[in-house]
Structure 1
Amino acid sequence: MGSTTKYMAMFPLPVFLLPGEEIPLRIFEPRYKQLINECNETGDTFGIPYVSNDNIKSYGSEVELVNIVAKNSLGEMVILIKAIANFHLLNLKEKLPNKLYGGGIIEYIDDRFTTTNPELVVLVKKLNLNLDPVMGSLITEDSVNLMNVAKAIQLDSDEKFAFYSLRNEKQMVNYLIKRLKFIEHIQLQEKLLENNFSLN
C-alpha cells in the first residue's frame, strides 16, 4: 500500500490513541474551542500529534468528534473523540492563516501488522482477550492483528507510542509477548491469593 498525505488541523496532546479508541477531552483554550466548534459544524477530523516530555513526536492519531458532552456559558466543553487512524507527521505549523489553531501535513502509513507467532496466539487465547468489539475474542486462522492486541491490554499512551514506533513486526510481537506474560503472571498471583483466602 502506497502512502497518502493529508492536510489537517492539529491539537497536540500527551495522548496516543489507536483506531477505535475513545476518550473524553476538556476544551478550554480559545484556539481549541474554535477548532472543535468548526469540526462540529463541518464534520472534519483533526490530528493529535503525540506530545511527550514537551516534545511533539513524529506519530499521532487522527480523530473524529463523536459529540459535545457538555458546554458552559464560557464556551468551554467536554467532548468525546474517537481515533480513526494513525499517521506520520510530516510538518506542523503552530498557527494557520486566519485561525487560532495550528495544522500540518500527515502521511498515512500501512499499519496492517498481523502475526501467526504461536507464542503470541496461545497467550491471547489463554488470556481470552477481547480483540474485536463485534467478534469478541475470535482469532481468524490463528493470526492476530497486533494493533487489536495492543488495544485489548490497555497500554498507556507512552507504551502505545513506544509499541507503535517500533514499525517492525518481530519487535512489535516481542513487545506484546512480554506484556502478555506480565498480565498472565499477575492473573496467576491473583488466583493464588483468591485460593489462599478461600482456604482460611
Structure 2
Amino acid sequence: MQKFLPLFPLNLVVYPMEALNLHIFEPRYRELINECLDNGNTFGIPTFMDGKLPGFGTEVKITALSKRFDDGRMDIKTEGVRTFRIIDFQNPVHQKMYAGGVLEMLPEAEIRPTVMIGLVERVKVLYRLLEEENTFDINKAQPYSYQIAHKIGLTLEEEYQLLKMPTEAERQGFLIQHLERVISVLQEVEKTKERIRMNGHFKNLDPLNF
C-alpha cells in the first residue's frame, strides 16, 4: 500500500508502538504539526543519517498536545504506527514549508510475537553486568526487539538496520548476535577490574612444583 505523508526527518530511529516526545520549534514543523492536529492526520519520521535520508522511517500518530507556548512552539506526545520506505521525496511539498513523500507502507508489526529464550537470557546477563534494572516485558503489546533496541548499546546505523528487517525472528536473531559481542566485552572488562582490585593486595598463593 502507498500513501502520501508529511515528513519530519530526524537523526534517530523510531519504532512501531514506541512512545516519543517531541519539542516542536521550527516554523515548517509547527505548520506540519498544526495541520496534523487540526485534521487528525499522521506524519512520517524518516531517519536522517550521514547527511542524507537512506529511505526508511516510521509513521507516527500524535497522542497528545502536552503544551503550546505563546510563541507557537509545542510539546507533543507521539506513538509509532508502522514502518515505511520512501518512494518519492518532495522538499518542500507544494505550497508548504515542510517536506513530504509518497511512501510504501510496510506490513504492521506483530503484536505479541514469540520471544526467543536466548534473547531474553542475554538481556538479563547484560543488565546484570551493567547493574541496571531489567523492566522489559515479553507480554507487552510491542515486539520485544523494538522494546529493547534503544537500550542495549546499538549504534544509530544498527538501529536503522533493525528497522529495515521485515520479521521479528530476523530482528531477534540480529540482537542475539549483537548481545553476544557486547556481553563478551563487558565480561572482559569485569575480569580486568577484578585484576586491578587484586593488584597490591596480599595473595595466598599455592607453592609451585618444578
TM-score, length-scaled by structure 2: 0.69
- 1:104 is matched with which residue? 101
**Distance (Å, rounded) in 1 between the aligned partners of 2:27 and 2:170:** 41
Q: CA deviation at 1:183?
A: 5.7
- Structure 1, gaps ≥5 residues long: 139-144
| Letter in structure 1 aligned against 2:162 | F
Q: CA deviation at 1:127?
A: 3.8
- 2:120 is matched with which residue? 124
TM-score, length-scaled by structure 1: 0.72
Q: Between Structure 1 and Structure 2, which shows a larger proportion of strand residues?
A: 1
Q: CA deviation at 1:165?
A: 2.8
Task: Kindly indicate whether the alpha-carbon contact (under 8 Å) linking 2:92 and 2:99 is maintained by their aligned counterparts in 1.
Answer: yes
Task: Kindly indicate whether the alpha-carbon contact (under 8 Å) linking 1:150 and 1:176 is maintained by their aligned counterparts in 2.
Answer: no
Q: Does 1:179 align with 2:178?
A: yes
- 1:142 is matched with which residue? none
Q: Does 1:165 align with 2:164?
A: yes
- 1:72 is matched with which residue? 69
Change in 2 beyond 3 A, CA 1:182/1:77: same
- Structure 2, gaps ≥5 residues long: 125-133, 198-210
Q: Does 1:29 align with 2:26?
A: yes
Task: Kindly indicate whether the alpha-carbon contact (under 8 Å) linking 2:145 and 2:168 is maintained by their aligned counterparts in 1.
Answer: no
Change in 2 beyond 3 A, CA 1:78/1:124: same
SS of equivalent residue, structure 1 residue 74? coil
Count matched residues.
182
Task: Kindly indicate whether the alpha-carbon contact (under 8 Å) linking 2:83 and 2:105 is maintained by their aligned counterparts in 1.
Answer: yes
**Distance (Å, rounded) in 2 between the aligned partners of 1:116 and 1:33:** 40
Q: CA deviation at 1:20?
A: 1.2
Q: Does 1:45 align with 2:35?
A: no
**Distance (Å, rounded) in 2 between the aligned partners of 1:112 and 1:83:** 11
The percentage of aligned residue pairs carrying the same residue is 25
- 2:91 is matched with which residue? 94
